[in-house]
């Protein structure tokens, strides 16, 4: 019989620590008379200790009962955060947090037409197919401004006839049409708007005050609207995590071990008082990893949201190029080229043509900001540059990097 088998039989199979206890016939015999006397002494000692513990326990229990009765004779003793204003109708802090914060979270659905060609025409595949994607959002204002991730609404940005819909948890059958107000692809934040009144905006917490180990509750729609309003509990596992996303952007995020799944993107992560500390946006997926979700800190979210809303009526400038979306940062790097946006064509008379930009150029920076993808280049131009403003554009051509100046139209 090996050690593991002995542990399994002598202890509970869930034991994690091996101890040198002796049981029955396995005990070492050091002399029968000594064992007998020692055994008698041990029995007497256990009886004395048992009686003493019983008496002490009874006295202590009586004292505790009397003391607790002096202060509260009807309520269950609970450790509540005073900011939550929890009453006895709640059985836990998490229940109260969910009750407070869930009305500020919504479901988002994107329906976009996508061209679909088939190698087998006899299958009668339609020329167009409707692609449906779903995510989460957080109510920012009572009159209908909603915060979500850019990647949640990305398909709607890329499709001119896409439909964006919002569903509140109070009535998931009530589909509300939404308009895209603005987005920052580099920050993975977008603002959409529905026509509504008296919504429940989320309450913000200062994300700079967040500490590792504090309560973290994620609210959203994992796997889509079918599981709308799901709540998962965990802690804050880390702060200021540098995570590089698929679009080539490195972000500074909050880490949590609360369950995060596809569909939670754009949803809320709140603290122990139900206040927003971040917007869920990513998760590390690997067979070796478990419980590593990430969120954009609430301070950054609020700053970007206010900026995007302030520019909603501002005319958006254009550069006048068509981009080749096949070349990702990884592909360009494999060819020994810098990350950037490959120019597929340049419109005649456009700011790009006047600046000397040509087909095949790789735009690596605009106004000093890196442009690892087409969506980020578009965000920089829309959000940071005004019409008729002259901006420096860094391009890579034939193994050399140069900077040109374009006056955006």
**From 102, 133, 136, 151, active-site residue:** 151
- Residue 353's alpha-carbon distances to 7, 12, 84, 89, 256, in angstroms, are 78, 77, 59, 68, 47
**From 101, 237, 265, 379, active-site residue:** 265
**From 102, 104, 188, 373, active-site residue:** 188
Chain centroid to CA 387: 35
As a whole number of angstroms, the distance between CA 323 and CA 374 comes to 7
**Coil, helix or strand at residue 243:** strand
Do the Cβ atoms of 203 and 276 come closer than 8 Å? yes
Dig out the tokens for 293 from the structure: 């979700």
As a whole number of angstroms, the distance between CA 255 and CA 219 comes to 15
237 belongs to the catalytic site = no
101 belongs to the catalytic site = no
Residue 6 CA neighbour count, 13 Å, CB half: 11
As a whole number of angstroms, the distance between CA 376 and CA 396 comes to 17
As a whole number of angstroms, the distance between CA 198 and CA 193 comes to 14
Task: Report the Cα–Cα distance between both ends of the chain, in Å, rounded.
Answer: 83
- Residue 266's alpha-carbon distances to 295, 347, 358, in angstroms, are 9, 36, 38
Nearest to 369 by CA among 223, 249, 245, 215: 249
Nearest to 260 by CA among 289, 292, 216, 287: 292
Pairing of strands 215-220, 189-194: unpaired
Do the Cβ atoms of 267 and 138 come closer than 8 Å? yes
171 belongs to the catalytic site = no
Q: Each residue of 349-379: b (16+ CB within 10 Å) or e?
A: ebbbbebebeeebbbbbbeeebbbbbbbbbb
- Active-site residues: which are they? 151, 188, 265
């Amino acid at each position: 019989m090996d050690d593991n088998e002995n542990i399994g039989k002598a202890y509970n199979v869930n034991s994690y620590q091996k101890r040198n206890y002796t049981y029955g016939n396995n005990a070492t015999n050091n002399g029968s008379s000594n064992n007998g006397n020692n055994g008698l002494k041990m029995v007497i000692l256990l009886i004395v200790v048992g009686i003493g513990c019983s008496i002490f326990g009874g006295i202590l229990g009586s004292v505790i009962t009397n003391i607790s009765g002096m202060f509260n004779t009807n309520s269950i003793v609970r450790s509540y955060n005073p900011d939550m204003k929890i009453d006895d109708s709640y059985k836990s802090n998490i229940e109260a947090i969910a009750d407070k914060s869930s009305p500020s979270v919504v479901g988002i659905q994107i329906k976009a037409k996508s061209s679909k060609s088939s190698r087998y025409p006899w299958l009668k595949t339609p020329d167009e197919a409707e692609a449906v994607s779903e995510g989460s959002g957080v109510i920012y204002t009572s009159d209908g401004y909603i915060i979500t991730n850019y990647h949640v609404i990305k398909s709607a940005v890329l499709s001119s006839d896409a439909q964006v819909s919002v569903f509140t948890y109070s009535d998931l059958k009530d589909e509300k049409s939404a308009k895209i107000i603005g987005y920052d692809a580099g920050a993975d934040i977008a603002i959409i708007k529905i026509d509504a009144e008296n919504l429940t905006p989320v309450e913000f917490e200062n994300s700079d005050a967040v500490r590792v180990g504090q309560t973290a509750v994620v609210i959203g729609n994992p796997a889509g609207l079918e599981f709308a309003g799901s709540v998962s509990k965990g802690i804050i596992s880390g702060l200021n995590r540098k995570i590089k996303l698929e679009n080539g952007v490195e972000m500074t995020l909050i880490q949590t071990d609360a369950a995060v799944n596809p569909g939670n993107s754009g949803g809320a992560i709140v603290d122990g008082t139900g206040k927003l500390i971040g917007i869920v946006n990513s998760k590390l997926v690997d067979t070796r990893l478990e419980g590593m979700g990430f969120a954009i800190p609430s301070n950054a979210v609020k700053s970007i949201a206010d900026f995007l809303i302030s520019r909603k009526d501002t005319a958006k400038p254009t550069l006048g190029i068509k981009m080749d979306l096949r070349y990702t940062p990884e592909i360009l790097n494999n060819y020994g080229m810098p990350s950037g946006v490959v120019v597929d064509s340049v419109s005649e008379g456009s700011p790009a043509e006047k600046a000397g930009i040509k087909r095949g150029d790789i735009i690596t920076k605009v106004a000093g900001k890196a442009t690892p993808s087409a969506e980020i280049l578009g965000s920089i131009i829309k959000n940071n540059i005004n019409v008729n403003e002259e901006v420096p554009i860094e391009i890579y051509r034939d193994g050399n990097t140069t900077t040109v100046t374009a006056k955006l139209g």
